[in-house]
Structure 1
Amino acid sequence: MDYKQIANDVLKAVGGKDNVAAAAHCATRLRLVLRDESLVDEKKLEEIDAVKGTFATEGQYQIIIGTGTVNEVHKEFAAMTGISDMTKEDVKKAGTKKLNPVQQFVKMLSDIFIPILPAIVAGGLLMGIYNIFSSPDLFFEKKSLIQVYPNLADLASMINTFANAAFVFLPILIGFSAVKRFGGNPYLGAVMGMIMVHPDLLNGWGYGGAVTEGDIPVWNILGLEIAKVGYQGTVLPVLAASYVLAKLENFFRKWIPAALDNLLTPLLTVLVTGALTFTIIGPVMRTGGMLLTDSLVWLYSTLGPIGAGLFGLVYAPIVITGMHHSFIAVETQLLADIAKTGGSFLFPIVSMSNVAQGAAALAVLFITKNAKMKSLASASGLSALLGITEPAMFGVNLKLRYPFYAALIGSAVSSAYITIYLVKSVSLGPAGIPGIIAISSGGILHFIIGLMISMAVTFIATILLSKRFGDK
Structure 2
Amino acid sequence: MNYSQIAKQIVDAIGGKENVSAAAHCATRLRLVLNDEEKVNQAKLDEMDIVKGTFSTGGQYQIILGAGIVNEVYKELSKLTGMGEMSTKEVSSAGSKKMNPLQRFVKMLSDIFVPIIPAIVAGGLLMGINNLLTAQDLFIEGMSLVEANPGMADLAALINTFANAAFVFLPILIGFSATQRFGGNPYLGATLGMLMVHPDLLNGWGYGEALTNGEIPVWNIFGYEIAKIGYQGTVLPVLVASFILAKIETNLRKITPSSLDNLLTPLLSIFITGLLTFTLVGPITRTAGNLLSDGLIWLYDTTGFIGAALFGLAYAPIVITGMHHSFIAVETQLLADIAKTGGSFIFPVAAMSNVAQGAATLAVLLIARDAKVKGVASAAGISALLGITEPAMFGVNLKLRYPFIAAIIGAAAGSGFMSLFHVKAIALGAAGLPGVISIKPGTITFYVLGMLISCAVAFIVTIVLGKRAAKKQG
Q: Which of the five TM-score ranges fits, normalised by the shorter chain?
A: over 0.9
* Corresponding residue for residue 295 of structure 2: 295
Structure 2 Cα separation of the partners of residues 111 and 349 of structure 1: 23
For residues 217-236 of structure 1, the aligned pairs below 5 Å read 217-236=217-236
* Corresponding residue for residue 108 of structure 2: 108
Partner of 1:424: helix, strand, or coil?
coil
* Corresponding residue for residue 403 of structure 1: 403
Structure 2 Cα separation of the partners of residues 301 and 26 of structure 1: 39
* Corresponding residue for residue 74 of structure 1: 74
Answer yes or no: is 1:428 the counterpart of 2:428. yes
Partner of 1:54: helix, strand, or coil?
strand
* Corresponding residue for residue 392 of structure 2: 392
Amino acid at match of 2:13: A
What is the CA deviation profile of residues 8-41 of structure 1, one whole-angstrom value per residue up to 9, with x for unaligned ones? 1111111112211111112211111011111111
Q: More displaced, 387-396 or 26-35?
A: 26-35
Amino acid at match of 1:464: V
Amino acid at match of 2:122: A
What is the CA deviation profile of residues 349-403 of structure 1, one whole-angstrom value per residue up to 9, with x for unaligned ones? 1100000011111111101111111111010110110100111000010011100
Unpaired runs of 5+ in structure 1? none
Deviation at 1:141, TM superposition (A): 2.1
What is the CA deviation profile of residues 196-253 of structure 1, one whole-angstrom value per residue up to 9, with x for unaligned ones? 0000000000001111111111000111110000000100000000000000000111
Structure 1 Cα separation of the partners of residues 268 and 166 of structure 2: 28
Report % sequence identity.
67
Amino acid at match of 2:112: I
Deviation at 1:78, TM superposition (A): 1.5
What is the CA deviation profile of residues 377-434 of structure 1, one whole-angstrom value per residue up to 9, with x for unaligned ones? 0101101101001110000100111000000000000000000000011111110010
Amino acid at match of 1:408: I
* Corresponding residue for residue 211 of structure 1: 211
* Corresponding residue for residue 130 of structure 2: 130
Structure 1 Cα separation of the partners of residues 90 and 150 of structure 2: 55
Partner of 1:230: helix, strand, or coil?
coil
For residues 323-338 of structure 1, the aligned pairs below 5 Å read 323-338=323-338
* Corresponding residue for residue 201 of structure 1: 201
What is the CA deviation profile of residues 58-115 of structure 1, one whole-angstrom value per residue up to 9, with x for unaligned ones? 1000101122222221122112211222221111111000000000000000000000
* Corresponding residue for residue 144 of structure 2: 144
Partner of 1:335: helix, strand, or coil?
helix
* Corresponding residue for residue 18 of structure 1: 18
Amino acid at match of 2:316: A
Structure 2 Cα separation of the partners of residues 76 and 347 of structure 1: 39
Answer yes or no: is 1:349 the counterpart of 2:349. yes
Amino acid at match of 1:305: F
* Corresponding residue for residue 457 of structure 1: 457
* Corresponding residue for residue 469 of structure 2: 469
Unpaired runs of 5+ in structure 2? none
Structure 2 Cα separation of the partners of residues 89 and 328 of structure 1: 19
* Corresponding residue for residue 164 of structure 2: 164
Answer yes or no: is 1:96 the counterpart of 2:123. no
* Corresponding residue for residue 244 of structure 2: 244
Deviation at 1:183, TM superposition (A): 0.5
Partner of 1:373: helix, strand, or coil?
helix
Structure 2 Cα separation of the partners of residues 161 and 460 of structure 1: 45
Partner of 2:443: helix, strand, or coil?
helix
Partner of 1:23: helix, strand, or coil?
strand
Answer yes or no: is 1:312 the counterpart of 2:294. no
* Corresponding residue for residue 412 of structure 2: 412
Structure 2 Cα separation of the partners of residues 344 and 70 of structure 1: 35
Partner of 1:340: helix, strand, or coil?
helix
Structure 1 ranges of 4+ moved more than 6 A: none
Partner of 1:442: helix, strand, or coil?
coil
What is the CA deviation profile of residues 122-151 of structure 1, one whole-angstrom value per residue up to 9, with x for unaligned ones? 000000000001111101222211111111
Partner of 1:225: helix, strand, or coil?
strand
Amino acid at match of 1:375: G
Partner of 1:24: helix, strand, or coil?
strand
Deviation at 1:50, TM superposition (A): 1.1
Alignment TM-score, normalising by the size of structure 1:
0.99
Q: More displaced, 80-89 or 437-446?
A: 80-89
Partner of 2:32: helix, strand, or coil?
strand
Partner of 2:126: helix, strand, or coil?
helix
Structure 1 Cα separation of the partners of residues 73 and 345 of structure 2: 42
Structure 2 Cα separation of the partners of residues 470 and 38 of structure 1: 30
Deviation at 1:468, TM superposition (A): 1.5
Structure 2 Cα separation of the partners of residues 345 and 76 of structure 1: 45
Q: More displaced, 236-245 or 365-374?
A: 365-374
- How many aligned positions are there? 472
